[in-house]
Structure 1
Amino acid sequence: MKKTIDERLFEFEKKHENNWQHIIYNLRKHMDFWTTKNVNNPSGKIKHSYLPVLFGIRVNGSTATQIAKRSVVIKQNISRTIKELESIGMVTTRVNKKDKRSDRLDLTPEAKEFILEAHLKVEELQDTYKKLVGERDLEIAKEVVLKIIAYHESLNETNDDTDDEI
């Protein structure tokens, strides 16, 4: 006998707490809350949405395309965020000597201090995780998540025909 849609959905509801998507979503939300609470935000001017872009800029500078790839953010959103980060004094733009068609973005001293502080806080949190689950289990968890990320990145590689893709 074929199950009704309600019966099928009820089966999924029973498994909801162990659903991979639900687990990752909850972890991400908890990480966002933790970051907001624990990472010092200079003058309150750094929006949470800026973080992937800001952390995607390397010490010696990066292009918008490099940042988009590292942060898994669509390039159009990167451009908007870069303008906002420039306006609050967190990044500067210079001509890319290797490719004059694109700019390189550099972190300001204030941005570098913010990023270093954030990384130090994240290391403290990682130490807490090690105490909570053990160093080996934490390493296994990271390895598993990185394999899953690599899988999804491999799916996206087939879509890299345009600059609009992630």
Structure 2
Amino acid sequence: MPGSLTRRAAGAAVILILGTAVTACSDDDSPSSTVSEAASAVQSAASKVASAASQAPEALASATAEAGRKLDDIKGGTDVSKDVRLAEPQINSAGRATVGVSAHNSAGSAKSFAVQVNFTDTSGNLLDTVVVTLSDVPSGETGKATATSNRDLSGEVKAEVGRAVRY
């Protein structure tokens, strides 16, 4: 994921640099001023690329910790990973991964579910994690929800149930 993020940021930097160079060429500035502005734009873009790449692992760690906290806060819950199914993940028009989540309530009364969905790449590397809640699913029925990644994901994305709690 950091490589993909870096490639996207680098592409944005190239567009920024070309835009700056085209703008500079349309002005009546001296060549040395144009070169100076382009160099400044390159330095600024490089700084933004490095910043984005360094924040990616921190954002993933934060999302993972938040998902764990949400599930750990549920008191008296039962592990029901076996009762949860995920559809095939898709990338929506905003670049976010989405996946349908269904949870079957085998309890004798209406229950809610909290499901941690882990988005991974084809090698199993964790890209993002979210928790989706399915509220008040009637006894014997299946509740449905959609989990959406916290940020843009690209390439072939897979989804798996990290944890599932019925309460």
TM-score by length of 2: 0.24
**Structure with more of its chain in strand, by fraction:** 2
The structure with more radius of gyration: 2
**Higher RCO (C-alpha under 8 Å, 6+ residues apart):** 2
**Structure with more of its chain in helix, by fraction:** 1
TM-score by length of 1: 0.25
